[in-house]
Every structure is written in C-alpha cells, then in structure tokens.
C-alpha cells in the first residue's frame, strides 16, 4: 500500500518535471528567436561596409565601425525633423485620443444613457463592414483636402472600436451608484467624468494610452498614403522606409556629407537608421510592458 | 459625450461607404465619381476572368487560416508552459523577450527579414554557406513565402497573444487543480483535462473575432516583407489588401480596387454572421451578438 502510494507520487513528480523542462527548452528557444534578430540589426549597424560585403550581416561586428551613424547624423536635419513630427503626433494624438476613448467608453456604459446600445452598434458595425481603401483615400484627399497635411495621419488614428470596447469593459467595474450619488450632490456629467471616473480608471487609461501611443510611434501607413515626398519632414517610420527602399535617398545624404559614392555604407546605414528610429521604443518598453500585460489581463478576465 | 466619437465614425468609416459605388463605374479622374460612366458588373467580370479574384481570395483565406490556427496553438502552448514554470525570473525575462517584436513597426520587421534572407549578405545564406550548402534566393522564389510570412507572423504575435490565454489560466480555480492532484492526475493529464478545456471559451471568442477579419489581411506585414512591386512573388504573396493598395497607388485603377474592397467587405460580413450563427447554435453563451 505504502509502496504504491510512493510510486504514484514519484510518477506525478516526474511528469511535472518533464513538462517544466519542455517549457524551459521551448520557451527559452522561442524567446531567444524573438531577441536575436534585433541584435542582428544592432550588430550590423556597427559593422564596416567592407566587412558586410565580405562576410554578410553578423551579430558581432567583424570590423567595428561607427561610420554609418556618422553619416546618419552628419546632416541631422531630416532625422530630427522626423523625430519631432513623430513625437508631437504621438503626444497630441494620444492625449486627444485617450480623452475621446474614455468619454465614449464611459458614456456608453452608463445605464441611464438611452441610446447606448444603438450607438455601440453604430461603432461596432464599422469593424464588420467598411468602404475600403479607395473611397477612404478619396475622402481624405479630395473631400477633406488633407493631402500633405499632418492631420491626415493624426485624425484617423484617434479612435478605434477595439479600444472603446476595452474602455467599456473597464468602466463596467465602477458602480453606477457613484455617478448617481455625485449627481444628487449637484455635479454635472463632465465634472463626474473628470473628477470621479477618470481617476478611478487610471490602469485602463494607461493601457489604452499605450496602445494609442504605440500606434502613433509606429505609424507609417497613413503617412505613406497622404504625406508626399514634397514634404520635407515626414514621420519617423516613413523616413526609415525611404532609407530602406530607396538607394537614392542614401546616396543623396552621402553626397551631402561629401562621401564618395563607392564608399557609401548602404547596408550599415539602413541598419543604423533603423536603430535610431526604433531606439526610444525599445528603451521604454521593459517599463511599459508591465502596464500592457496588466491591461490585457484585466480585459481578458472581464471578457 | 459620445458626440465626438459619433462624428469620427460617421466621417472616417461611414462616409467612405457610399464610395463603394466606384466598384460599379469606370472611374475617370476628370469626370469624378458621379460623372464617370456606369459599368454595372463589368469590373467584377474582369476580376473573375483574369483569375485575380480567385488568387486573392485563396491567398487571403489560406494565410488567415494558418495565422489563426497556428497562432492560437502556439499562444496556448506558450501560455500553458509559462503557467507550469516555477522560476519567476525565467518567466519574466522570457515574456519580455517574446513581447519585444510586438513593439516595433512593420517597417523594421521588413528590414529584419531582409537581414536574414538577403541573397548577398543575409545571415541565412552565411549559415548555409558555412554548412557547405547552396545559397537560397528567397526574394525570387514564391514557394518559400508562405513559410516566411507565417513564421514572421508567429514570431511577432505570439508573445502578445499568449498573455490573453495566460490571464485566462490565472482565473482557473486552484482548488480544482489541487483536487485533481489528490486524485492522482499527472501534469499531462492536468493540462489535457483541466487547463485546456478551461481555455475553450477564450479560444472561441478570439476565433470569432479573427474570423470576422478573415478577408482582411495583415497589410503591413505583407507589404514590408515582400516589397511594393515584387511581381515575381505575387502568386504566393498577393492578398486582397496589397492588390487594393496597388490599384490605388501604382495602377490608379480606382474602380478595380473598389470592386475588390466591396467583395472583401461583403464576403467578410457573411462569414461573421455565419460563424456567429454557428457558435450560437453550439454554445449560446459564447456568441458575439
């Protein structure tokens, strides 16, 4: 009797260990695969062009060189301009977007708001059916006349049904009695929203704000559609896209810094630009990730 | 307080909808939308005749099915394994690493793929070379791209997606798990009979959401990986959204682009309604509406 009990215990223990070892191996390898490509970009950006031409991209620079960065920063005008556009866009867009998402989510969750189901459906429906790219493009360029205007990038990114639904499920946890008691005390709807609801939903605001900010920081699609090369300063990711896809762009900036055409570090310059354009996000992200996980977790548990 | 949101969706989502009328005309820039000649179903007929519509539909749906199935499988596997881990340190570090690809732009992802796959300098060919194997020309072999695209998708989305499942596992009552252990269930049985069934509702909800987008591609991924005009790869990489983008920005064929968009929207709409109807029949609690 005792022996069978012991052997059963033993069996259970080994199965647990097996699962753990599979886990360490599998997740460890996968996590490594997620990280390595970034190191590859970083390593290549510090490799001299001749070493790249000889032995290809590498994690560890065979011939260390900061020449690519030197050329990128030789004429910092363009990259600083793109940085400013993206930073301003991210700050303004996130602030306005967050306020609008919070307002909408709160209003749609208030039980005494008569049309809340109809408006919810009005918003949700846009995820089911849409006019598509061509009419959207014509709307922005020919009806709203926003071509080559930063608003064409800023405005469409402000709201999304997904974020509103997320906000709604957060607000659901705040008892309606709070709103009602504040009303009895004579507070208006906006006072209730600003002074009571917003402070109570800080975790939600942090998560949703991060979503919006990340969207603006990584924005390239609308800027590619609506900001033409006539504009000197465009968004950071579009700047990177141009460096990657057009050799002309790289040649021009090399010419501007008096580098012979054959000495242009074409490949390492692409990587150096990528590092410069991505840098801040990567630096912030370990701190920010916590909020993301918290936000997604709360959203997932509440359904 | 809803007014700004209503105005927003009215302008940016509803106003383009009547623009789908473009699909039924032969759009001419100088005559505008309402001056151009009415063409009826001519655009659609053309799309069917050239075989474009079939290729786009097949590619879009096949990629999405691979994304949804493999994506969820991998996310669930990662979440379940993370839950079994005892080392807090390992959990934290690995989650941070897996989450990283979600934070960067599609443009950078395209560059990373180039880093690995480039014929002359890519690390893949360096490795193949050192093993004495022939180098591969990834950017001109269509057959390789379903793998490249799906792997990149999984690479980018797994860390983020697994959090939802991980959170769901956290909600599992620990008493049930303890009871199963007393009854002699081993780790595999515990996962098979308790954890996985527990994740079913989450899986169904996520499945429904993704089915709704089954005709929507992942434009950024395809566009940045493949490049704007790599005709050699269209057979295996062209999806509805890249086609629409090209008809707008490269071919200036607005009517054809709209015809494909309309097809995409209607088809997607029907898929959602059908999927929701099916789920409501099987388990009413999990349907979306």
pLDDT digits (tens, 9 = 90+) for A263-293: 677 788 889 999 998 877 888 887 788 777 7
The three-state (H, E, C) secondary structure of B141-185, written as one string: CHHHHHHHHHHHHHHHHHHHHHHHHHHHHHCCCHHHHHHHHHCCC
Does any CB of chain A come closer than 8 Å to the CB of residue B226?
no
- Please give the Cα distance from B77 to A29 (Å, whole number): 14
Output the CA torsion A208→A209→A212→A218 (10° steps). -120
* Nearest Cα residue in chain B from A164: B5
From first to last of its 289 residues, chain B has per-residue pLDDT tens of 888 999 999 999 999 998 888 888 888 777 777 777 787 788 888 888 888 889 999 999 999 999 999 999 999 999 999 988 888 899 989 988 998 999 899 999 999 998 888 888 888 888 888 888 888 888 888 888 999 999 999 999 999 889 889 888 888 888 888 888 888 888 888 888 888 999 988 888 888 778 877 888 788 899 988 877 778 888 888 899 899 998 888 888 888 889 999 999 898 888 888 888 887 887 777 666 6
- Please give the Cα distance from A143 to B170 (Å, whole number): 50
From first to last of its 303 residues, chain A has per-residue pLDDT tens of 444 554 555 444 688 888 888 999 999 999 999 999 999 999 888 888 877 877 778 888 887 888 888 888 887 888 899 999 999 999 999 999 999 999 999 999 888 888 888 999 999 888 888 888 999 999 999 889 999 999 999 999 999 998 998 888 888 878 888 888 888 888 888 888 888 888 888 888 888 998 999 999 999 999 999 998 888 889 999 999 988 887 766 666 666 666 666 667 778 888 999 999 887 788 888 778 877 777 777 655 544
Whose CA is closest to B122, among B131, B113, B109, B130?
B113
- Please give the Cα distance from B128 to B150 (Å, whole number): 21
Looking at CA atoms only, how far is residue A91 from chain B in angstroms?
17
- Please give the Cα distance from A269 to A48 (Å, whole number): 10
Looking at CA atoms only, how far is residue B119 from chain A in angstroms?
9
Does any CB of chain A come closer than 8 Å to the CB of residue B122?
yes
Does any CB of chain B come closer than 8 Å to the CB of residue A148?
no
- DSSP-assigned beta bridge partners for residue A47: A64
Assess contact for A132 and B265: CB atoms under 8 A.
yes
- Best residue in A59, A86, A135 to probe B by mutation, most B CBs within 10 Å? A135
pTM: 0.88
Option in B4, B8, B81 nearest A22 (CB): B81
Q: What is the pLDDT of residue B237?
A: 87
Q: ipTM for the complex?
A: 0.88
Residues of A in contact with B85 (CB under 8 A): 20, 23-24, 27
Q: Which of residues 209-228 of A touch B (CB under 8 A)?
A: 214, 217-221, 225
Residues in contact with B15: Cβ distance below 8 Å, sequence separation at least 6, in sequence order: A131, A139, A143
* Nearest Cα residue in chain B from A29: B94
């Amino acid at each position: 009797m005792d022996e069978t009990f012991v052997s059963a215990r033993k069996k259970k223990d080994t199965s647990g260990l097996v699962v753990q070892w599979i886990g360490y191996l599998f997740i460890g390898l996968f996590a490594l695969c997620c990280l390595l490509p970034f190191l590859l970009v970083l390593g290549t950006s510090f490799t001299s062009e001749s070493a790249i031409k000889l032995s290809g991209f590498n994690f560890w620079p065979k011939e260390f060189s900061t020449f690519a960065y030197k050329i990128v920063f030789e004429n910092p005008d363009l990259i600083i301009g793109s940085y400013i556009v993206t930073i301003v866009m991210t700050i303004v867009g996130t602030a306005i977007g967050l306020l609008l998402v919070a307002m909408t989510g709160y209003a749609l969750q208030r039980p005494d708001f008569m049309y809340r189901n109809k408006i919810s459906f009005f918003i949700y429906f846009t995820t089911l059916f849409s006019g598509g790219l061509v009419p959207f493009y014509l709307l922005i360029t020919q009806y709203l006349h926003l071509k080559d205007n930063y608003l064409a990038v800023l405005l469409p990114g402000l709201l999304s049904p997904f974020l509103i639904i997320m906000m709604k499920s957060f607000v659901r946890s705040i008892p309606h009695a709070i709103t009602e008691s504040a009303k009895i005390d004579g507070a208006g709807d906006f006072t209730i929203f600003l002074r009571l609801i917003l402070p109570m939903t800080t975790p939600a605001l942090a998560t949703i704000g991060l979503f919006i900010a990340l969207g603006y920081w990584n924005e390239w699609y609308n800027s590619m559609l609506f900001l033409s090369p006539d504009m000197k300063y465009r968004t950071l990711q579009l700047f990177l896209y141009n460096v990657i896809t057009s050799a002309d762009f790289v040649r021009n900036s090399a010419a501007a810094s008096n580098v012979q055409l054959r000495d242009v570090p074409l490949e390492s310059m692409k990587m150096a630009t990528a590092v410069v354009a991505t840098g801040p996000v990567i630096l912030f992200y370990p701190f920010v990730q916590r909020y993301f996980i918290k936000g997604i977790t709360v959203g997932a548990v509440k359904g | 307080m809803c007014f700004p949101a209503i105005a927003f969706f009215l302008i940016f989502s509803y106003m383009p909808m009547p623009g789908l009328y473009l699909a039924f005309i032969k759009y001419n820039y100088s005559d505008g939308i309402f001056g151009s000649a009415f063409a009826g179903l001519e655009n659609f007929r053309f799309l069917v005749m050239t075989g474009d519509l079939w290729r786009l539909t097949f590619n879009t749906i096949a990629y999405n099915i691979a994304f949804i199935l493999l994506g969820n499988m991998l996310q669930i596997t990662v979440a379940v394994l993370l839950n079994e881990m005892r080392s807090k340190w390992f959990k934290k570090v690995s989650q941070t690493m897996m989450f990283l690809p979600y934070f960067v732009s599609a443009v950078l992802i395209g560059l990373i793929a180039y880093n690995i796959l480039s014929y002359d300098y890519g690390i893949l060919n360096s490795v193949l070379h050192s093993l004495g194997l022939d180098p591969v020309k990834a950017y001109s072999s269509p057959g390789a791209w379903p793998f490249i695209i799906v792997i990149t998708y999984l690479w980018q989305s797994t860390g983020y997606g697994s959090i939802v499942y991980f959170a769901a596992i956290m909600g599992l009552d620990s008493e049930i798990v303890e009871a199963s252990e007393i009854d002699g269930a081993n780790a595999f049985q515990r996962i098979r009979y308790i954890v996985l069934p527990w994740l079913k509702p989450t899986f169904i909800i996520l499945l429904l959401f993704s089915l709704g987008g089954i005709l929507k591609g992942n434009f950024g991924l395809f566009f940045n990986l493949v490049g704007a005009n790599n005709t050699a790869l269209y057979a295996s990489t062209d999806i509805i959204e890249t086609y629409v983008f090209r008809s707008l920005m490269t071919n200036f064929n607005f009517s054809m682009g709209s015809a494909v968009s309309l097809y995409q929207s209607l088809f997607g709409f029907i898929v959602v309604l059908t999927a929701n109807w099916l789920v409501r029949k099987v388990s009413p609690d999990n349907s979306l509406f």
